[in-house]
Amino acid sequence: MINWPTILSHKHSKPYPSLTQNWIVIVFLISLTLCLLSPTFAQTKQPSKYDITSQILFNQPSYYPLEQTINNQLYRPTATWVGRLILPKPDTPPPSNQQDWVWIEIYNAPETAKNLEGEILPLQWSQQPLTQTFVETVTKDIQFSQAAKNSSNNGNVLPTRLNGLTKVGPLTSLAGARPNDDMIVGLENVKITTNEGGSPILETPLEPMQITGRYYALVDILGTATTNATPKNCPGNQPCTSELFQVRHYNPTTKKFDSATEIIRIPQQPLLPNNLFQSTPQGITDSPAGKAGWYIYGAKDTAGIFTVQAIKPRSFFQLQPEQTIQGKTAGIKYIDRQNWQNTESRKGNIQSVLVIGEEGSKVDKLSPPNSVQTLHATSLPTPNSLLKEGDYALVIHLFGGIGGEKSEPVFVGTVTGHFSYGLAQVVRDTFTNELQFDIKYQQVYAQNSNGIISGTHSWENYMGNLEKGWLGTRPVSDIVVKLDALKDYDFGGVILSPFREFMYQLQIMTARYRTGDGTGVARVSPATSCVQDSSQALFIAIRSIENKFYSTPEIQTWLKSHPDNPQTLRFQQLVSLGKKLEKALVPRGVVRPDWQKNAEYLAGINARNGFVNEISIVNSILSWRSMMPRRAHDEVSTIFLESGAELWFLRTNQVGGYDPDIEPVAPTVAFGQFPLISKLIERLISASRLMNSQDWFVVGITLLIYGAIALPLGFNSRFLRVSRGFGNLKELFQGLVVAFFTPAFMEELIFRVFLLPHPTEKISTIMWCFWAALSLFLFIIYHPINALTFHPQGNPTFMKPIFLTLTGILGLVCTVAYQLTGCLWVVVIIHWAVVVIWQYWLGGKEKLYGSNSTINNE
């Protein structure tokens, strides 16, 4: 403690410091305090959920011995090559001339390379041109921005080990995405090469897929095996039940669960800072999702007990829909309302619904159009009638929110959810020999507290993982889209692959997200998010296919030479689909500048060095239709349905163990929990696009038609007469401005935009006619009511039959114009032009305000 009196009375005494020295200390302490209290330094780093779960032994790779004693009749490897990525130290020389490489600890290898299991080998990219282009495109120098530091302090998992490194490629960003070397991956099409010393090097042409576990099996969970081995904490009533379960393996010979029994462990995950459990084994034996068995993923611990790290319900992936919906109208209704209907009451269940837009389809030639069928197994269409082994399909993924007693916060009635794309392949299961969906996601995922990393994920890793997956906590909708137009094209040796192009663009986007384009963090905003940037990848893929078509004469020549070839017809369908999707992605007809620049950069048109990522209100508005995950999910799937696709809706609702403190909550559009407000805002945004040449044509034609009807009626009834209704140009200008806003803008906003379904809304003609008639009726009677209340100048003019007749005709033509264009400004301009001409040139102002009045119009 500083003795101030002594210091002041003995300035030169020893050993006390001088007054000057003390003031220096004081100033230093004050400065340090101010720095610590500033936003940059005062922020205490919050622990992430990953920080908590990764400390648990069974969530660590080291918990599972490298050497595993596995019964190959009961278990299969999770991939051809399975390993753990290890980030090389910065000063480690590369094994070859490639800069982007990592170490991989081999867990499983194919029979021809079993000697490499347990080894730690270099993993690098193959020399294929497309692969090398991908690596070069996304390689970045990493320097954390202030936003990255703030995100880390807020409890998100950032690639802290990469900060300050140069030339970080997609392998390095994957291995270093988390603080620990715990990234488990699966590899296919691996090539083994050697360095100059003869040591093996693995080369991959594809981004490693993030997976869970080394082995998997198909089992029936019979029940808990003991009353011991109970966790200290779990959802629901205490005490918790045991983590040890007795299971019976599937027998491929009998096709029943009558093979060997075994005791396995399904561990209870710890309580997280948000007071939730990411997963629980409590009640899993009684889960209706496990009626056909569970796939379990994991490895054996040091005691030889198979410890489950991920689960997957078998019935969810079988090609046997519980319900089939036929017809586009019924299909659109299912997408819009029924898919997420009664989500809370579906807790613990899975659904599989097939929607086929074509009438008289492959399902049942005798069924009526737009019918809904609940099919039993005996009446189901055989899988081969719809999908064949090896077929690929697009996946549209969306998850919802967490409700119940431990619900997550909801912002002004909006449950945003998360959106992504993926790829499904029809494969033959190695246990049952039945056809199933094998789903892989391309997750464009911002840095988060769970430690989920942007990239390619197997279903069991992203959904079924007990530590990080969403199977037990969120409702999920995966739409598997089967459309022939998306298959590969062979134009006389020139190959065009829509799937490959889209997945390539998505992998570029996911790699960019891992590094934040060099800033260390992918920021989430209305302009940049999972849904916006997945949509950007789709937009760039469409533009890329267009560029290849126009820049490749061989394709155009082949199409001209084969006009009736089925492939030509498929390609025409693809072109039509691309236009519809692009219209949805660019709803205002103006491409976001950053999307356009990135498309040009990837196409080699723009020689800029790097990507553009612009966060602005303008960009949010230009791509507003892809701002909300729920809207993108519904709109894109509707476009595919209308284009002839078959849609398989695969829904999970907090499946697996049972947590009584949470409930599934459906994702919504903006303010979706307030349906009326949400609908009005959506219609306003849809209608407020920029006008194009076709819109102006509709304006002109509509005014001509209205004039041809209204002028003879008005003059014959002497309601109209030519007269000048303004004293000078200033008065005219003021009147024009006022008339634009009221009545034109206000009335069209209410009676057309708010009351009429927007043309993009998929409703029946009968329902549209109902709303059109109601809107027109209210528009007409509004005027006399307005004259009796808020606008007395309109009395008696607004009461006259001729005025109401002309008003009704105006409402009718505006209704038709709005249905044709869906543009607010079209009907506002029509309404405004009619009002202005009537008031200032056809005697309207005199009728409202008298012959000497210069008061503004109605």
Which amino acid is located at 165 in the chain?
L
> What's the pLDDT at 364?
38
Among the residue ranges 68-77, 151-160, 194-203, the one predicted with the least confidence is 194-203
pLDDT at 418 over 60: yes
User: Rounded mean pLDDT of 94-106?
Assistant: 93
User: Rounded mean pLDDT of 52-63?
Assistant: 97
Contact 268, 281 (CB under 8 A): yes
pLDDT at 486 over 60: yes
> What's the pLDDT at 42?
40
- Of 666 and 537, the structure prediction assigns the larger pLDDT to 666
> What's the pLDDT at 727?
83
Q: Sign of the CA dihedral 414, 419, 425, 431?
A: negative
In percent, the amount of the chain with pLDDT more than 70 equals 86
Q: Which helix (H) or strand (E) holds 596?
A: helix 593-603
Q: Where are the alpha helices (DSSP H) in 38-169?
A: 39-42, 49-53, 129-138, 146-153
pLDDT at 21 over 60: no
Whether a cis peptide bond, with omega within 30° of 0, leads into 15 is yes
- Of 341 and 384, the structure prediction assigns the larger pLDDT to 341
Q: How many residues does the chain have?
A: 858
User: Rounded mean pLDDT of 325-335?
Assistant: 93
pLDDT band for 626, please (50, 70, 90 cuts): low
Nearest to 403 by CA among 666, 674, 652, 664: 664
Residue 168: how many CB atoms within 10 A of its CB?
Answer: 23
Nearest to 93 by CA among 106, 103, 84, 85: 103
Contact 693, 815 (CB under 8 A): no
Helices then strands, counting H and E runs in the chain, come out as: 25, 26
User: Rounded mean pLDDT of 130-135?
Assistant: 94
pLDDT at 25 over 60: no
pLDDT band for 588, please (50, 70, 90 cuts): low
Give dist(CA 760, CA 679) in Å, integer: 13
> What's the pLDDT at 520?
95
Contact 637, 650 (CB under 8 A): no
Decide: pTM greater than 0.75.
Answer: yes
Q: Kindly list the domain boundaries of the chain, sorted by start residue.
A: 4-42, 49-56+213-312, 79-210, 318-676, 685-849
User: How does DSSP classify residue 318?
Assistant: B
pLDDT band for 672, please (50, 70, 90 cuts): confident
pLDDT at 109 over 90: yes
pLDDT band for 196, please (50, 70, 90 cuts): confident
- Of 296 and 850, the structure prediction assigns the larger pLDDT to 296
Residue whose entry in the numeric block shows the structure tokens 């690929």: 392
pLDDT band for 857, please (50, 70, 90 cuts): very low
User: Rounded mean pLDDT of 45-51?
Assistant: 92
pLDDT per residue as tens digits for the range 743-767: 999 999 999 999 999 998 878 899 9
- Of 4 and 665, the structure prediction assigns the larger pLDDT to 665
pLDDT band for 599, please (50, 70, 90 cuts): low
**DSSP line for 83-97:** EEEEPPPTTPPPSSS
Average pLDDT, the chain: 87
pLDDT at 595 over 60: no
> What's the pLDDT at 825?
97
pLDDT band for 614, please (50, 70, 90 cuts): low
Give dist(CA 431, CA 317) in Å, integer: 14
pLDDT per residue as tens digits for the range 702-745: 999 999 999 999 999 999 999 988 889 999 999 999 999 999 99
pLDDT per residue as tens digits for the range 210-267: 999 999 999 999 999 987 889 999 998 888 999 999 999 999 999 999 999 999 999 9
Q: Sign of the CA dihedral 413, 421, 402, 272?
A: negative
Q: Which helix (H) or strand (E) holds 185?
A: strand 183-187
Give dist(CA 61, CA 58) in Å, integer: 8
> What's the pLDDT at 748?
97
SS3 551: helix
Beta bridge partners of 405: none
> What's the pLDDT at 371?
40
> In sequence order, which residues have a C-beta less than 8 Å from that of residue 395 and are 6 or more positions away?
421, 422, 423, 424, 439, 441, 478, 479, 480, 481
Q: What's the half-sphere exposure (Cβ side, CA atoms, 13 Å) at 731?
A: 13
pLDDT band for 674, please (50, 70, 90 cuts): confident
| Phi-psi sector, 840: left (phi>0), alpha (psi -120 to 50), beta | alpha
pLDDT per residue as tens digits for the range 373-405: 443 333 444 444 578 999 999 999 999 999 999
pLDDT band for 431, please (50, 70, 90 cuts): very high
pLDDT at 361 over 60: no
pLDDT per residue as tens digits for the range 272-286: 988 999 999 999 999
Burial class (CB in 10 A: 0-12, 13-18, 19+), 112: exposed
pLDDT per residue as tens digits for the range 754-809: 999 999 887 889 999 999 999 999 999 999 999 999 999 999 999 999 999 999 99
- Of 471 and 632, the structure prediction assigns the larger pLDDT to 471
> What's the pLDDT at 1?
36
> What's the pLDDT at 39?
42
